[in-house]
Amino acid sequence: MEDNNRCMDKIGLPAPTPDASLLASQVADSRTFFLQLAGPWHERVSVALGGWELCRADYAVARDRYPYLVLELVVGGRGRVSLDGGEHRLEPGVCFASGPRTVCRIDTDADAPLEKFFFALAGPGAARALTQAGLLHGRARRMAALGELRELAEDITREGRRHGAAASAICARLAEVLLLKIGEEPARVASLGGGAVHDAARDNFERCRALIDTHAAEWRGLEEIADAARLEPSSVCRLFRRFLGVSPHQYLRRRKMALAAAYLLERGGRVQDAAASVGMEDPFHFSRCFKAVHGVPPSALLSARR
């Protein structure tokens, strides 16, 4: 497999620098990071840059060359992507990848702007890892385990933004886990262009989970989930027990605590501020939930940040 250093030379691009040319400009909000932008990359799969972005209604990216392989995971909104002429719809749970010479165009739905993670990958094993995950070569995949994948993407983004001495190595390992998770999905959810087995129950579950992932910070319980999904609360409970083995309340709480952990690590501040950021008014109840999920109290993350 061709090393990305040589690949960059072939497409005639200079060693990149951390400026806006590597990032889309039509974003309403973003959390990005830059690690090792130029080789040699010693990790099998290195993360050069990446992060999370909320697209504006006019978001449109068109490129036919880029210094890196790029992995993208949609966590909210709707849109379309064209990869070397192959068209795919974008919605929560869809992931896709492009290479340095992929003709790629991404457009958002103006009424539901895309929210997505993106990671620019390099290293001698990056192309092989993406291919083994069922990506590259114009493919896109819709993943059932969006919650797990989003947590991993958030972990990569958080570690990349901490700028620790081991940030590059940690992000590299997490990226490999993310690709392994994508690759283990069953083949029946791999195609967006037709031929996938239609499973109404799974579609409803994925829709409910995507709604929770998008609204975890403000939602409080089952009734809001069911109303947004236009399902009976009992149906939502059955879907989560069937496909994930937990209740929707447990999943919502875990999503809230993941967001709260990211808040504390990135912003610091008071525990009550982190609680308020995920819609919890009682900081003592928040602290109990946080410790139940993460095994440590929120104050431990504040201490680690210092």
pLDDT in tens, 29-44: 899 999 988 878 889 9
**What whole-number distance in Å separates Cα of residue 23 and Cα of residue 21?**
6
Interval 236-253 mean pLDDT: 88
Query: At 207, is the secondary structure helix, strand, or coil?
Result: helix
Structural domains of the chain in order of their starting residue, each with its CATH number: 4-189 (2.60.120.280), 200-305 (1.10.10.60)
Interval 89-113 mean pLDDT: 93
pLDDT band, very low/low/confident/very high, at 272 (cuts 50, 70, 90): very high
Interval 265-285 mean pLDDT: 89
**How high is the pLDDT of residue 60?**
93
pLDDT band, very low/low/confident/very high, at 304 (cuts 50, 70, 90): low
Interval 212-219 mean pLDDT: 91
Given a cut of 60, whether residue 15 has pLDDT beyond it is no
Given a cut of 80, whether residue 239 has pLDDT beyond it is yes
pLDDT tens-place string over residues 279-290 = 999 999 999 999
| Type of residue numbered 6 | R
Sheet with 104-108, side-by-side order of all strands: 60-63, 104-108, 79-83, 86-90
Looking at every residue in the chain, the average pLDDT score rounds to 85
**How high is the pLDDT of residue 20?**
40
Whether 292 and 249 have beta carbons less than 8 Å apart is answered as no
| Type of residue numbered 150 | R
**How high is the pLDDT of residue 269?**
83
Interval 262-288 mean pLDDT: 89
Asked whether the CA dihedral 20, 21, 25, 30 is positive or negative, the reply is negative
Please report, for residues 152, 182, 236, 283, the alpha-carbon distance to residue 258 in angstroms, rounded to integers and kept in the order given.
10, 20, 22, 16
Share of the chain above pLDDT 90, in %: 52
Interval 125-151 mean pLDDT: 88
Query: At 12, is the secondary structure helix, strand, or coil?
Result: coil
How does DSSP assign 226-250, residue by residue?
HHHHTS-HHHHHHHHHHHTSS-HHH
pTM of the complete model beyond 0.85: no
Report H helices in 112-267: 126-132, 146-162, 167-183, 200-215, 222-229, 233-243, 248-267
How does DSSP assign 27-46, residue by residue?
EEEEEEEE---SS---SSSE
Secondary structure letter of residue 187 according to DSSP: G
Interval 72-76 mean pLDDT: 93
Given a cut of 60, whether residue 114 has pLDDT beyond it is yes
Which residues, in sequence order, are bridge partners of residue 141? 95
Closest CA relative to residue 113, chosen from 49, 208, 193, 26: 26
Given a cut of 60, whether residue 193 has pLDDT beyond it is no
Given a cut of 70, whether residue 199 has pLDDT beyond it is no
**How high is the pLDDT of residue 222?**
92
**What whole-number distance in Å separates Cα of residue 112 and Cα of residue 162?**
31
* Lowest-pLDDT range of 83-97, 108-122, 254-268: 254-268
Interval 209-221 mean pLDDT: 90
Share of the chain above pLDDT 70, in %: 87
**How high is the pLDDT of residue 8?**
41
